[in-house]
Amino acid sequence: MSDKVGFIGMGAIGRPMAAHVARAFETKVWNRTIERAASFAQEHGLRVAADPSELVSWADVIITCLPTSADVTAVAHGAAADWREGQLLVDATSGDPAEARELAAWLAARGVAFVDAPVSGGTTGAEAGNLTVMLGGEPPHVGRAETVVRPYSGKIRHVGPVGAGHALKAINNALLAVNIQAAGEGLAALVKLGVKGAVALEVINASSGYSNVSQNLIPERVLTRAWPRTFRLALLDKDVGVALKVLEDTGVPHDAISVAKQALGKARAVLGEEADHVELIKEIEKAAGVVIE
């Protein structure tokens, strides 16, 4: 008999992930904004848990997709009396490795396994069911986690012990932030020198400086001035903070990522909590007195 899966977190990326899970497993959902869970459940013919305790009592495997590790810990502790031996918590949050290890130890004392399973690929990847999933945990638990994350995954890799998935996701997003900042600054300078943004990108993308930012994000969002909101700058700022902590804890120099963190923090303060991550380039343009086009 397959596991019953409880899914917590109906955000922009969690909702399409849960839809894939619901097509493969018997599923019950919960969200802090209960209206989101109710509308999702009605759309997919599912049941909504009244609270995390009800969901934990019912499910064999729980998937969390929340903004921070602190949120995951709060939900888990809130259902402290309802966990039972043999359950598995799969945390798809872009979380903090140290907090993940603490929660894993707390759950292990109750006979519950934990695997951190952050994803990459954004809302588009979630909707298409081809996210990259980074699993951190012990092999037997990772094998079980692979089964429940497979419906929304294109690539699944066991990357190391508990916390390793969160660490890799944070470093990945830190590299994204560095690329956004560097590409924005470089293109702003080139445009001021009379080089068209599209021409500069054509050359860069056929040369050694290309990245996903130059190939996709800037052409689709900056040159068009579309600025779609798919991943909040505030969440990227949070992830880069996690990456900095990973670098500090491991004694690794972190000059480039520190600068990106400062730039994100300044942009977040000006643009607000709902701004998209690529909108960092708006602040670069403003400071440079130029529009990249």
Going by their DSSP bridges, the two strands 131-136 and 119-120 should be labelled as antiparallel
CA distances from residue 192 to 179, 187, 199, 207, 225 in whole angstroms, order as listed: 20, 9, 13, 21, 18
Residues making up the chain, counted from first to last = 293
User: According to the model, what pLDDT value does residue 88 have?
Assistant: 98
Q: Retrieve residue 30's tokens.
A: 């919960």
> Can you give the pLDDT at residue 272?
97
The CATH homologous superfamily to which domain 5-161 belongs is NAD(P)-binding Rossmann-like Domain (3.40.50.720)
Q: Are 237 and 261 in contact (CB under 8 A)?
A: yes
Question: pLDDT of 119-137, one tens digit each?
Answer: 999 899 999 999 999 999 9
Give the list of residues 6+ apart from residue 269 with CB closer than 8 angstroms, or none: none
Nearest to 94 by CA among 281, 221, 277, 216: 277
Enter the tokens of residue 226. 């579309």
| Portion of the chain with pLDDT greater than 90, in percent | 98
pLDDT of res. 54:
97
CA–CA separation, 185 and 273 (whole Å): 23
Q: How confident is the model at residue 2, as a pLDDT? A: 84
Q: For residue 225, how many C-alpha atoms fall within 13 Å in the half-sphere facing its CB?
A: 4
How far CA 87 is from CA of 84, 111, 227, 231, in Å, comes to 6, 7, 42, 31
pTM: 0.94
Architecture per CATH, domain 167-288, reads as Orthogonal Bundle (1.10)
- Convert 120-136 to b/e letters by CB count within 10 Å (16 or more is b): bbebebbbebebbbbbb
Residue type, position 94, single letter: S
Q: Indicate the domain borders of the chain.
A: 5-161, 167-288
Can you state the angle between helices 280-288 and 255-271, rounded to 10 degrees? 90
Query: Residue ranges of the chain with pLDDT lower than 50?
Result: none
Report the distance separating Cα 40 and Cα 30, nearest Å: 10
* Per-residue tokens: 80: 């402290």
